[in-house]
Amino acid sequence: MPGALTTIDLQGALPLIARGKVRDLYEVDDKTLLFIASDRISAYDVVMENGIPNKGFLLTLCTKAWLKILTDAIPSLRTHLLTLDLPPQIPQSLRPTLQNRSMQVRKLKMFPVESIVRGYITGSAWKEYQKSGTVHGIKVPAGLRESEAFPDGPIYTPSTKAELGQHDENIHPDQAAALVGEPYASQIASLSLQLYKTAHAYALERGVIIADTKFEFGLDTETNEVVLADEILTPDSSRFWPKDKYEVGRGQESFDKQFLRDWLVKEGLKGKEGVRMTEEVVSSTASKYQEAYDRIASGVKG
């Protein structure tokens, strides 16, 4: 297996704006950013010491495919993607490494919330529900079992957007509205649910259940439009379950980093810094990401 790209050096070609858990952001010009997806992987808000080979390519190509699927289904949808082509400032020697793990995108004023949509009760939502009968403070029907679909349809459950090294905090939609303001809060909630339902139906036909996912949005300050941004429906930002193995009442197998999360919990390493994944964890996680891409995105044209 080829090595993972965890550190990116543009040799001064573009100014670095930010370095996230996975992506490095550079400024191309006053209206354009370059997102470069590394092979870094995080779990429980901690970045692992080693990465997952090819992960950055898969995340970028998965996002590109989903944007095509979603804009075809929702013609009014605005997205931040301009092109996967690299800007001319990038040195020739770096182009083979960075092509298809990079996106040129519109510079936006990002909203300070992560827009999580949950179709099934699992993860932190299941833990909260067991304690209080709520999800992000929202009262949901009693008697649900683990991994069950919400009987009234998917729910919008936002969180705060934490700085690197900090933890995202689940919040009630009313708190998100206070942070974002109207009419943007209502637009974000409505669009998030529409995107999830569209993607869920598409994936289900391909044998994949999208249990939940996270969207991010920005504001185009020139047009005052809400714009879909960042990564879209990747294994980093979503929980994908195999439809043929789905069974209510237990945790599910998944095509995402749940394998890594489970390993961290089992080894007592959850939330600890400086963790190096074993070769088995790296290999198994890489194959999960590849399968998610193959099932959903590999045949999408354009």
pLDDT of residue 301: 67
For the chain, count helices (H), then strands (E): 7, 16
The whole-model pTM stands at 0.92
pLDDT on residue 148: 97
pLDDT of res. 36: 98
Per-residue model confidence (pLDDT) at position 167:
64
In terms of DSSP bridges, do strands 134-135 and 23-29 run parallel, antiparallel, or are they unpaired? Answer: unpaired
pLDDT of 163 reads: 61
Are 265 and 231 in contact by the 8 Å Cβ rule? The answer is: no
Q: Which amino acid belongs to residue 101?
A: R
- Six token digits for residue 27: 């400024």
Q: Which residues pair with 102 in a beta bridge?
A: 36
| Regions of the chain with pLDDT less than 50 | 1
Q: Which of 274, 267, 258 is nearest to 43 (CA)?
A: 258
Q: What does the pLDDT look like over 262-273, one tens digit per residue?
A: 899 999 999 999
- Name beta bridge partners: 208: 242
Query: What's the one-letter identity of residue 163?
Result: E
Q: Which phi and psi (to 5°) does residue 147 adopt?
A: 75, 5
The token duo for 147 is 């991994």
Domain edges within the chain = 109-271
203 three-class SS: helix
Report the DSSP pairing between strands 208-220 and 113-118.
Answer: antiparallel
Tell me the per-residue pLDDT of 106-130, one tens digit each, with 9 for 90 and over.
Answer: 999 999 999 999 999 998 899 999 9
SS (H, E, C) 15-47: CEEEECCCEEEEEEECCEEEEEECCCCEECCEE
Q: Assign domain 109-271 to its CATH architecture.
A: 2-Layer Sandwich (3.30)
Q: Is 160 helix (H, G, I), strand (E, B) or coil?
A: strand
8 Å CB contact between 111 and 212: no
pLDDT of residue 166: 58
pLDDT for 13: 95
Closest CA to 87 of 5, 6, 15: 15
